[in-house]
Amino acid sequence: MNSQNNSFKVFSGTRSHYMAEEICRDLGVELGKMNILHFADGEFEVSFEESIRGRDVYLVQSTFPNSDNLMELLLMIDAAKRASAKSVIAVIPYFGWARQDRKDKPRVSIAARLVANLLTAAGVDRVITMDLHADQIQGFFNIPVDHLYASSVFIPYIQSLNLEDLVIATPDVGGAKRANSYAKYLGAPLVLCHKQRAKANVVATMTIIGDVKDKNVILLDDMVDTAGTITKAADLMKENGAKSVRALASHAIMSDPATERVEESALTEMIFTNSIPFTKNSSKCTIISVARLFADTIRRVQNNESISSQYVFK
């Protein structure tokens, strides 16, 4: 990368600074200098503190709550375009608002499409993200989207556990495709949970489809918000005779009281990536970095190399 270090720069929003620093260490480059000035009323201004004229600019920022993170990213894109950057690439480890990807009832917004429109209108040339809530969100963009998968870090971790009688499970039918890919790769049976919600973030009933008796179960999900579904599934697995239950989730939203629910549940371990900063104390939570995955993708984009060749599976 040394011959190309001068052709691109990496910058970070406020809450994703930790990720950008790791990415830059792996790439062997310095994190770009940027300033975010906050006004008394909550408004803020973004400015680049070095020249980016003619450079490929990578902006690292997950768009998790609150909405300031998305607004920061939009302003960073706009500022980079106005500063004559050659191209602007948004590196979004966690793409927020992705759960609102369709009209599932009358008179609601499709927020994922709106966010895609906002990023495009701001002037982004490319998006690099990971484990979207729904794959079809890529189609909301008319620009290249590199969709990465946390399986490249989760699979080695699962294998390192050396678990016998392994079963792969999903806490809801919507995650069946992802769980089936893991099950096929690992040569393990697949178990599904069927849930019915009373309302958003509240699970009314849940049933298991499959056998977990005397099995070591690994539950897979793309994100954990209040942890109601994942802990209810873990408790149900344990009640049905599972030897142990672990959970893997790409994005640790972990809204209160998620940490308490995980601690009090039958889960042996809860494993996340660091796409969202997780700062709460939990004896059961393990964080795996995906900075190297994003650094390698940036390196491949700069060298016009294949992105998909780094996937364990999709």
Active site residues: 195
How many C-alpha atoms does 310 have within 13 Å on its Cβ side? 21
Structure tokens at 228: 């109601």
- Phi then psi for residue 35, to 5 deg, are -125, 135
CB environment 101-111: b (16+ within 10 A), e (fewer): beeeeeeeebe
User: Could you tell me how far CA 296 lies from the centroid of its own chain?
Assistant: 16
Give CA–CA dist 182/198, Å, rounded: 29
Roughly what angle, to the nearest 10 degrees, separates helices 291-302 and 17-27? 60
- How far apart CA 293 and CA 131 sit, in angstroms, is 12
Written as six digits, the tokens of 214 are 């005397």
Distance of alpha carbon 295 from alpha carbon 289, whole angstroms = 11
Q: How far is CA 64 from the centre of its chain?
A: 10
The one-letter code for the residue type at 238 is: K
**Contacts of residue 239, Cβ cutoff 8 Å, sequence gap at least 6:** none
Rounded Cα gap, residues 246 and 242, in angstroms:
11
